[in-house]
Structure 1
Amino acid sequence: MRIRHLTTLAGAVVLTCLLVQVHVLPVMAAADTDTSPVTAVGRLSGVNFDPNKGTLDGSPVDHLPDHIRLLDIQLPDDGAPQRADWSPDGKRLVFLDAPFGDLWEYDLATGASRNLTETSVLHKGVLRAHHLINGDVALCAVTERSADGPEGDRFRGELWVLQRPLGTRAPVRLGESCWEGIAVSKQPGSTRIAWNQSTIDFTKPNVIIEALVGKSKILTGRIVYRNGRPRIADRRIALDKRDVSLDTPAVEAQDFRSLPDGDADSDDELIFSAYFHKGGQAMGVNLDTGAVADHTSWSLFYEEAEGIDPSGRYLMVERDLAITLFPGLVDIWRLPLDGSGTFERMTTFNHYKGFGANNPVVSPDGTQMAFGLKVEGGAEGEGNGILLMDLSR
């Protein structure tokens, strides 16, 4: 471990130089009034390796192939459907209506939508939502917004569970902080989850220092029920950012994967993203041995792990064919988890000026993918509609 950390010291030095260089660039004088460090860095174009990116006029929604369709979801108050997740039976989606929003449910058969948190303590405060295999929903959410720096609240969430019947019971606080996304096992009988805890707030002026010396780790546990109320059991640290390298500012849990290792535990590998490590890597940590695997080790592009195939054969990845400190508008690619590192492009939304595709999740039967339409501007990961792709074609 120590040898590996020493060999990555040069990477940490390079990251420091890059971040300092970006921080002093005169980007703040741009016309855009958002002058946060993340937005400033995001304007750097880097070196682009996709000659077709941003070359088409119009919207990708107006030129969809036959195997992709936009869901007709109408929301009040200019709500925008985003961050979808499949129900265990594949008949419904839950989604948010804003980066800090309410949680909604969409019935694929009827097209009906209903608000699940409008009357709860989490009204307009849900950041992430993922179904447990039993039909309950694990949430990362906030109950109130900060007066000073409210955008940074996305890094200061808490874990909750919304129990069935959804929308009829008050959410239950689990007593754990959560940073960005959470992962939920889709294996039969498992209620294992993973969540992130970090000191890093990418909206703060001291983000350069925090990127180097701040804390970031991934924890796992199981949701168990005592007298009908959920709580976390078997809590443990699965990964620290230092287990990847010294030049990794933050790690984020994404999905669980089963491996043919012969034991009874079906949650063998935790897929995660390592931000800024070689551009941003889709990685995994073996939950039995602690061994870390880089599933895109050859690449310097931004490749963020997202939805996994239920059988564990492949991973959907947000990818930007550019070498830059922060990604631009991304598209969705499929990465087989066979060690080949061979990507298959699933969308070409960012060939249209100001558009991209994000947040892909694969249905429980592996035949469909729900994903988001991204329009330039707004928060990272924000969506402007949900689409379905038929993966059987």
Structure 2
Amino acid sequence: MKQLYLIFILFVALSYNSSAQEGPSPLDDLPDYITQVTHFGQRADWSHDGERILFIEKTFGDVFEVEVATGKITPMTHHFFHEGFVRALYLANGDILLSGAKNFNSEDPWKSRDARNTELWVLKKDLKSPPVALGVHCKEGPAVSRKKMNIAWALGSTIYIGEIDYENEKPKLKNWKPLFTSGILPSPAKGWDLETQNFNPVNEKELFFYAFGGQFGFQAEVMGYNIEEKKFTNYSKSKETYDEAEGIFPDGLTMLIESNRHRLNYKGMKEFLTLDIYMLKLDETGDVERVTYFNDNPEYKASNPVVSDDGRYMAFQHAHAEDPAGKGRGILVMDLKAWEKKKGKR
């Protein structure tokens, strides 16, 4: 069944690409508030001082760090042998949380992105030693606190939470436990697949995640979970659109999402090929505002946005519309203050 599903995705992607109207690349005419900082890479994450961006070379690739002001790129995982990583995120102490499998088979690569094989690791910021495995598996991206050593991750239909501690300077996961399963989510997300995204930077008692399901799995809702009150909130109220949670602003009032709201006439599998970046208000109104327009040419998309800790800049990636989820072809930075001046107050 899984093989048929992947074949169907490939068929839709190819048919979509062949029918798309050719047009200029959005990189050919970037607005003055967007700067391309790398010409390869994906899944950006801001350093706490806003001076550097961590990113993955490619799915199952090495991890790099780019200095935004100079464009200097530093390899972070060249000092040890590995099978490639799918996520890299700064921890509160500056160390790096990695997600990747112990084994990689180029003839069957996607198994290394499967939750049954992908594990979490901690790489110390001095880059003097290989990363240390935390002993847990993770489905897609983990959520990392920007203030504490807390992390959350999904596995199967369950979301877990834990704390990274250092015993004799060796990172170790402690006090970890399940938070909830998708079976207790409110409708329409009950029983859907889950991926963690962010802790609320103002009140870390709330964890943001997204649930995706519906027909072909291409409906997604941005949700929050109050850890103390054990209460769920549906923030996107997407009504059969695809809204995937991404970076959150430091005031906790707005979140960046990937969405296909500008192409609601595209139904089924094609929805996943029509993404751009939006801002979602976290006030339960479901109000959104479009931020990027890369998908105005249906051959391209913008995705995986994250916000610097001061709220001034957004890092994101560009890709071809038919690229697999998460694939990026370079990291860009948007000056949000300059963007506000250009388009008026949001």
TM-score between the two structures when normalised by the length of structure 2:
0.86
Superposition misfits of 4+ residues, deviation over 3 angstroms: 41-45, 53-56, 245-249
Instruction: Tell me the distance in 2 between the aligned counterparts of 1:388 and 1:95.
Output: 13
> Counterpart in 2 of 1:336?
281
Shift of 1:249: 3.5
SS at match of 1:125: coil
In the alignment, structure 1 residue 37 sits paired with structure 2 residue 5: yes
Checking the alignment, whether the CA contact within 8 Å between 2:62 and 2:75 is kept in structure 1 is yes
Shift of 1:99: 0.9
Cα 1:55–1:267 shift into 2, 3 Å: same
Summarize the alignment of residues 212-361 of structure 1 with structure 2, pairs less than 5 Å apart: 216-244=157-185, 248-258=191-201, 266-277=203-214, 279-321=219-261, 322=264, 323-325=267-269, 327-361=272-306
Shift of 1:55: 5.6
Cα 1:304–1:220 shift into 2, 3 Å: same
Cα 1:56–1:309 shift into 2, 3 Å: farther
Checking the alignment, whether the CA contact within 8 Å between 2:221 and 2:238 is kept in structure 1 is no
> Counterpart in 2 of 1:69?
35
Instruction: Tell me the distance in 2 between the aligned counterparts of 1:307 and 1:135.
Output: 18
Summarize the alignment of residues 64-213 of structure 1 with structure 2, pairs less than 5 Å apart: 64-73=30-39, 80-122=40-82, 124-146=83-105, 149-155=108-114, 156-165=117-126, 167-186=127-146, 188=147, 190-198=148-156
Q: Deviations over 1:80-121 (max 9, x none)?
A: 311110111111111111111100011112211111112324
**Is the radius of gyration larger for structure 1 or structure 2?**
1
Shift of 1:380: 1.4
Identical pairs, percent: 34
Shift of 1:36: 5.0
SS at match of 2:287: coil
Q: Which runs of 5+ in 2 are unaligned?
A: 14-18, 339-346
Checking the alignment, whether the CA contact within 8 Å between 2:38 and 2:332 is kept in structure 1 is no
> Counterpart in 1 of 2:341?
none
TM-score between the two structures when normalised by the length of structure 1:
0.76
SS at match of 1:384: coil
Instruction: Tell me the distance in 2 between the aligned counterparts of 1:229 and 1:141.
Output: 19
Q: Deviations over 1:199-223 (max 9, x none)?
A: xxxxxxxxxxxxxxxxx11111111
Cα 1:43–1:309 shift into 2, 3 Å: farther
> Counterpart in 2 of 1:384?
329
In the alignment, structure 1 residue 59 sits paired with structure 2 residue 25: yes
Instruction: Tell me the distance in 2 between the aligned counterparts of 1:392 and 1:318.
Output: 20
RMSD: 2.4
Cα 1:333–1:91 shift into 2, 3 Å: same
Q: Deviations over 1:105-163 (max 9, x none)?
A: 111122111111123243x5111011011101111111221466321221121000011
Q: Deviations over 1:334-389 (max 9, x none)?
A: 00111221101000101113100010000011000000001133421100011000
- Code of the aligned partner of 2:244: E
